[in-house]
Structures are given as C-alpha cells and as structure tokens.
Amino acid sequence: MRIAQIAPLTEAVPPKLYGGTERVIHWLTEELVGLGHDVTLFASGDSRTSAKLEAGWPRALRLDGAVRDANALHLAMLENVRGRAHEFDFLHFHLDYYPFSLFSRQSTPFLTTLHGRLDLPELHPVFNACTAAPVVSISNSQRRPLPQARWVRTIYHGLPENLITPKPVRPSYLAFLGRIAPEKAVDRAIHVARKCGIPLKIAAKVDRVDAEYYEQRIRPLIEPPHVEYIGEIGDHEKSEFLSGAHALMATIDWPEPFGLVMIEAMASGTPVIAFNRGSVPEVVDDGITGFIVEDELGAIGAVQRISELDRAAVRKQFERRFTARRMAQDYLGVYRALAESHAPRLRIVGADEAPALAASDAS
Amino acid sequence: MRIAQIAPLTEAVPPKLYGGTERVIHWLTEELVGLGHDVTLFASGDSRTSAKLEAGWPRALRLDGAVRDANALHLAMLENVRGRAHEFDFLHFHLDYYPFSLFSRQSTPFLTTLHGRLDLPELHPVFNACTAAPVVSISNSQRRPLPQARWVRTIYHGLPENLITPKPVRPSYLAFLGRIAPEKAVDRAIHVARKCGIPLKIAAKVDRVDAEYYEQRIRPLIEPPHVEYIGEIGDHEKSEFLSGAHALMATIDWPEPFGLVMIEAMASGTPVIAFNRGSVPEVVDDGITGFIVEDELGAIGAVQRISELDRAAVRKQFERRFTARRMAQDYLGVYRALAESHAPRLRIVGADEAPALAASDAS
C-alpha cells in the first residue's frame, strides 16, 4: 500500500528527547517499510526514517525556540497532505482532531490514532461535530470520555522486538523508569521499596515544569543506596537497567492511556507492579506479566510475591502482544478494512456537499 | 444578504476587557444588521449582539480558566460553520489562517480578515499552501511580509460614528491611551511631554506579562502632576479624556497593523502625533489629522505645531474615513464582488478534487 504517516512537528521522528507519540510513529513506520509498503512520513525535517520524508518544518518545534505559532505549521502540513491525498491509498494521522473536518470530505481513506488523554470537556464539541472521522484508541479505557467518536479499534503500542531484551544479570532492586511528575507518583514507589527493604533505582527525567515538584517533594526522599536517582537513560541502557530489577514499579496516579514503560519492562522479562488506573488492566496480564494493585499496601504484597512470576513467560507475553510488528499488522488490518468500506461510497456521492461518511465499525 | 461573522472565542463580542479584534467584529456586525442584512454571529456565548448568536462555547476563553485546548473549540466551530455553510450567502472569518483549507473547498463564498501582525516566519508555509483563500488586510503595510496571499482589499477599521465625540473642554495636556507595553513605548511620550513642558496623562492597562516592564521601566518615570497615570478607561470615558488633550501620543515601536486608538482620538477631534511605523502613514493624514514623526525630536516639533491643526477638520476626516458604517459598506462591496466571481466557477468545476480558486483582485 501507499501509506502516508502524518506526525506532529513537536518532536523529530524518532524524538531526540522524550516523546512517546513520535517513538511509536517511528517504530510503526519502520515496520510498515519492512513489510514492503511504500510509506511517506510527514514530520519535522530532522527526523530519521526508512520511509520518504516530507518535512513540514526543518526542525522539531520543541527545539526551535523561534517558532511561536505551531498551529500555522500543522495546518500548512494538513493542506499539503490534502493536496497530495490522491497519491496515497491510506492516510494515517497522529494529530489529534486536527484532520477531522478536512479529510472527512475527500476520497482517500484515513484514520487518526489518538495518543493523549481525552477527558478534557472542551474536546466534546469537536467530537460531537465530527462523528465520521475514524479513530483508533491506544487502550479501551482511553475511549471512555468520548463514546460519540467513531472508534474503529483499539491498537496497543508495540516495541521493535529486539530493542530491549533480557540480560543475564541477577535482579537486585526495584526499578522506576520514565518521568518524575505528580501523575507518575514516584513517591509511592519509594514508600513501597522502603517497606519491603529492597533498593529502588529511579531512571527518569524531570521536565522543567516539574522541577519544583522534584525539589520539594521527591528529592528529600532520595537516600542512596536505598533510593538512588540515576537520571534519564536511553533505549540502549534499558535492557541492562530493567533486567537488573525484580520488578518495574508503575505507581501511576492518572488514567494513562498507554504506558510504554510497562511493555519496555516486559521486553526485558521484568514483571510490572502497576496501580489499577487507565490502561493498566489491559496491558498487564495479572499473574503473568505482573501484578495489578490498588494501593501501596497491595504493592508491598505484590513485591513479596514477585518471584512467583516466570521472567521467560513475561518476555514471551511481550513477544505475543506488544511487538511493533504486531502493531503494524493490526494497523494494516484497519487500513484495509477502512479502504474497502470507503472506496465504493465516493463513486456514488457528489462532492462539494458530500455528506460525512456514515459511521461503521471496522474492528 | 445572509452573512455569517465567525469570531475568535478568546473574548466575547464585544469584549468584556481589552480586545481590538472582537470590538471591530462587534461594530461591523451591528452595522450590517443596521443596514438590513441577516447576520449570524459565531462567537462565545457571553457575547451581546443584534445578530443571531451561535455560541461556540458558553464563555470567552480568556475568562474561562478551565479550557486548556482552545484549538479544539475553534476547529469544532469551523466544522459547524462548514456544515451550515449552504445557509449563508457569505462567510466572513476572523480566525487567521484556520479556515483556509476547509473553506477553499466548498461553494459558499468566504473571506478572512487578518487582524494581527504577519511577520512570523512560520506563517509562510500556510500562506504558500493556501493561495486561494481571499484575505483582507487592515492596512497595506500589514501585507508586506506575505505577498503570496490572495489579498483582495485593505479595509481600515471604523468606529460607530457617535461612540466617541468632541466635548467642549479646553485641551490642557498630552494623552497616551491603550496599553503599557514595550512596543507601545510610553516612555517616549513621557520624554516628549517633559521636553515640551506639557503634562502627560496616561490612560492605559498593564497586562500581566508587562507588569515587570511597567514596574522597572515606566513607574519610575511617573511623577504627577507632570506625568499622571490614571489607569484603564472605558469607551464612555474616552470622549472626555481625548477632548481634553492637545494631541494623542502614538509613540509606537512596532509595525502595528492598525491602531484603533488613533481613530478614537480623531473621533473626538484630537490630532495624533504618531511615529512612522506600520499603518501610521495610512491612518494619519499628515497635516490634517495629525503629524507623522520619525523620532522624539520630531515629536517635540510636532507638539509645538499642534495648534495649526483644526480640530473640527480632524473630526470631519474621521467621519469621512473611519466610521463603522464606511467599514461595513466596504466589506459589503467585497462580499458582493467575491460572491459574483465565485458563483459561476463552481457550476463547471468538479468538487472532490476541485482546483483552488484562481487569485483575483476584488479591490
């Protein structure tokens, strides 16, 4: 298929720094190319890809301090995609609701993956108005605030199969990975590790907006060697870091639509102890890849049972459920289903005032 | 005509606080209704209008701290206007480049008035991509950074004829009106007034972003009675304030696309001493409604010549050039010209892949 992937210009694909959405777009794009498809990636010009790159702006906007109006660039990119839509068999957007109005009224089938949380009240008007635009959720729980959207399927994120792998090290600590921010609640992981008498290693970044939170609430809790903060780590360091952990502590305090860090742990064979919020019960197979807990007391109990889990089985479940290849194949299934349901309609419907496509479920 | 005015949701129409764009939309809408047209105003729900109000959100967003994603509401409003476009003879947008892609591909004629400065480099991609969308400038100087846009006319803003009128008071000071901010350079007005030995009265707001600038750079210069800061004033106070001034000091230090405050002064018969930036030479008739100067020295000379100007002639020139009625009639001329050039084309052009409208100049 001739497929266009349309990414935000905020970060490069893959991102130079943190950026879950752009990492997922990168992995999906590489897999689609690997599967033999003709892929064009609309993204910032500093992206690296095996697909054809169409630069919407020379640099990722988060690193380009000169750009004040990011919307102008995203709407220009949408206009350019619209002008070239006939060159593609399928358009896959990662730009929230931005493409809905424009692309519901043209003939190339399209899809939007919604990457963020959807519980803002101001999202209702645009989803009420654009019920024809097909959308994919990254977990079922993500959908709840917006039942009126045209959900066609949930597709869980996936990692390249060999990006993170089990290493032959003896687990000796609990791990926290990602960002230090109130919604990630690393303080809970610290409490649990202390109560269990097991060291906690924290590999995480601190965003500027969270610097005060870190200084006031978290830093006083860091006491090496029991609680150690090792800073941010890259993908190439994660296999080692995660393999050395008895468990990853996903002590989240928000309805996370999908937690990449959980499948990163699984890829290394490390079980996950996760609070029951957002996508957690969909991503963690309780008793196989980890334990789902309700509070710190539950987490302490889970740590004590962690040796019941088989790390080889954790890795195996990762390979079954959360590879980028599986993700790409799921998306191809949706592309094909939407293309089939889409194509015949536009031969019979006039164009300028064409009604929006009827909602249909491709899942 | 059945006319839709589509306003930003940022402020109410008219705004409860400062907000030049929304004030102009209000005056235009009222005049169009007064001229017998069937006008629908898409705006925030706390707007007050003689037109039919279609609320895009219950409250103006600047006063609604709960809304984090204003784009979602603006794009929802555009989708709603698009769905109802056939109900109107003309669509007039005040939303920058937002409507370009969507409305260039439908049959109701439309127009965008660009209200802001246009010299951001990130605007080029969207104006390069959307050369079919007709736009009105609020001064010729505003156009310079974007020659590729489809400029159909410059239409200067106008005020309701009797909003501000000359009052029988003896002028005794120089006036500064508007906002205290670096680009408004009130410090220059203070220097000029001091050198001339004439008191300066400053009626202006200080935005939160400019609080530090005010405290550090301007407040030390305020020394009553020679330099007096009287705070922000409303429209009902402006006739008195401006009539009492020998001249309005428009000491701007930025390419202001249109300075409403200059025509407010003219409405009261007060001449304007304005620095030669942005729209100034188009708005001020040098030697009739004021003097255009290059620097503080020139401004001092202009103050000394101010009695040469006839205040009745200033008011007369306001009535000739800058009333809201004239503005509305100019817009109606553009609406009609675009509607005529627009209508026949769409009978012969296919729709889904319709080419963008050829650029034509309706001015």
pLDDT interval class at A357 (50, 70, 90) = very low
Is pLDDT above 60 for A157?
yes
Alpha-carbon distance of A268 to A264, in angstroms, equals: 7
Phi-psi region of B25 (alpha: psi -120 to 50; beta: other; left: phi over 0): alpha
As a whole number, mean pLDDT of residues B216-229 equals 95
Give the best residue of A67, A68, A75, A80 to mutate against chain B (max B CB count within 10 A).
A75
Across chain B, the runs of DSSP E, i.e. the strands, are 2-6, 38-44, 52-57, 90-93, 110-113, 134-137, 150-154, 173-179, 200-205, 227-231, 245-250, 272-275, 290-293
Determine the angle formed by the axes of helices A186-196 and A296-304, rounding to 10 degrees: 50
Look at A23-32, A65-74, A106-115, B35-44 and tell me which has the smallest mean pLDDT: A65-74
At A290, is the secondary structure helix, strand, or coil? strand
* Whole-number pLDDT of residue A361: 38
pLDDT tens digits, B234-259: 999 999 999 999 999 999 999 999 99
CA geometry: angle at B60 spanning B59 and B61, to 5°?
105
pLDDT exceeds cutoff 60 at B357:
no
CA neighbor of A90 nearest in space, from A28, A38, A27, A130: A38
CB contact under 8 A, B120 and A354: no
State phi, psi for B153 to the nearest 5 degrees: -175, 155
**What pLDDT is recorded for position B31?**
98
Residues of chain B in contact with residue A122, where contact means CB-CB under 8 angstroms, are: 57, 67-70, 72-73
Determine how β-strand B110-113 pairs with β-strand B227-231.
unpaired
The reply to whether A55 touches chain B by the CB within 8 Å rule is no
Asked if A101 is an interface residue toward chain B (Cβ–Cβ < 8 A), one would say yes
From the candidates A57, A69, A352, which should be mutated to test the interface with B, based on the most B CB atoms within 10 A?
Answer: A352
Which stretch, A17-31, B39-53, B336-350, has highest mean pLDDT? B39-53
Q: Is the CB of B122 less than 8 angstroms away from the CB of A70?
A: yes
Quickly count: other Cβ atoms within 10 Å of residue B307's Cβ. 12
Contact assessment for residue B291 and residue B273, using Cβ atoms and an 8 Å cutoff: yes
**Eight-class DSSP state of B354:** P
Chain A residue closest in CA terms to B132: A79
Cβ neighbours for A343, distance < 8 A, ≥ 6 positions apart: A109
- Which residues have C-beta within 8 Å of that of residue A19, sequence separation ≥ 6? A10, A11
Whether the Cβ atoms of residue A43 and residue A13 lie closer than 8 Å to each other? yes
What pLDDT, on the 0 to 100 scale, is given for residue A271?
98
What is the rounded CA–CA span in Å between residue A46 and residue A67?
Answer: 15
User: Looking at residue A123, what is its pLDDT?
Assistant: 96
What's the DSSP call for residue A224?
Answer: T
The confidence score (pLDDT) of residue A185 equals 95
Q: Which residue has the higher pLDDT, A351 or B9?
A: B9
Determine whether the interchain pair B79/A101 forms a contact, defined as Cβ–Cβ distance below 8 Å.
yes
What the block records as the tokens of A298 is 């539950």
Report the alpha-carbon distance of residue B298 to residue B292 in Å, rounded.
8
Residue B148 has pLDDT above 70, yes or no: yes
Give the model's confidence band at B360: pLDDT under 50 very low, under 70 low, under 90 confident, else very high. very low
Cβ B351–A346 below 8 Å, yes or no? Answer: no
DSSP string, A183-216: GG-HHHHHHHHHHHT--EEEEEE--GGGHHHIII
Distances, alpha carbon B173 to alpha carbons B192, B198, B350, in Å: 12, 6, 64
Q: Which of B102, B123, B128 sits opposite A69 (nearest CB)?
A: B123
pLDDT number for residue B358: 38
Give the phi and the psi of residue A56 in degrees, each rounded to 5: -85, -15
Confidence class of residue A344 from pLDDT cuts 50, 70 and 90?
A: low
If you measure CA to CA, which chain B residue comes closest to A126?
B76
pLDDT band at A351 (very low <50, low <70, confident <90, very high): very low
CA dist., res. A132 & res. A116, Å (int): 20
CB-neighbour burial class of residue A65 (10 A; exposed 0-12, middle 13-18, buried 19+): exposed
pLDDT above 90: residue A343: no
From the list A69, A125, A128, the residue facing B122 with the nearest CB is: A69
Inter-axis angle of helices B260-267 and B235-243, nearest 10: 60
Helix (H) or strand (E) holding A249, with range, is: strand A245-250
Mean pLDDT of chain B: 93
Q: Does B220 touch chain A (CB under 8 A)?
A: no
pLDDT at B103 over 70: yes
pLDDT at B344: 52
pLDDT digits (tens, 9 = 90+) for B52-61: 999 999 999 9
Look up residue B84 and give its amino acid: R
B212-to-A216, A303, B137, B208 alpha-carbon distances in Å: 27, 52, 33, 8
Q: Mean pLDDT throughout A96-106?
A: 97
Selected residues 258-317 of chain B with any CB under 8 Å from a CB in chain A: none
Q: Does A354 contact chain B (CB < 8 Å)? A: yes
Mean pLDDT, residues A60-66: 86
pTM of the model: 0.90
CB A76 to CB B126 under 8 A?
yes
Tokens of A149: 């959207």
Question: Which tokens go with B154?
Answer: 């410059």
pLDDT for B300 beyond 70: yes
* CA B11 to mean position of chain CA atoms: 14
Give how far B312 is from chain A: nearest CA, Å: 44
Asked if the Cβ–Cβ distance from A129 to B79 is below 8 Å, we say yes
Helix (H) or strand (E) holding A40, with range, is strand A38-43
Question: Do the chains contact at A125 and B73, CB–CB below 8 Å?
Answer: yes
Pick from A67, A86, A130: CB nearest B79: A130
- By CB neighbour count within 10 A (0-12 exposed, 13-18 middle, 19+ buried), where does A356 fall? middle
Q: Which of A172-186, A243-257, B6-20 has the lowest mean pLDDT?
A: B6-20
B228 half-sphere exposure, CB direction, 13 A CA radius: 12
- Asked whether the predicted pLDDT for residue B271 surpasses 80, the reply is yes
Size of interface A-B (CB pairs under 8 A): 114
Q: Chain-centre distance of CA A207, in angstroms?
A: 18
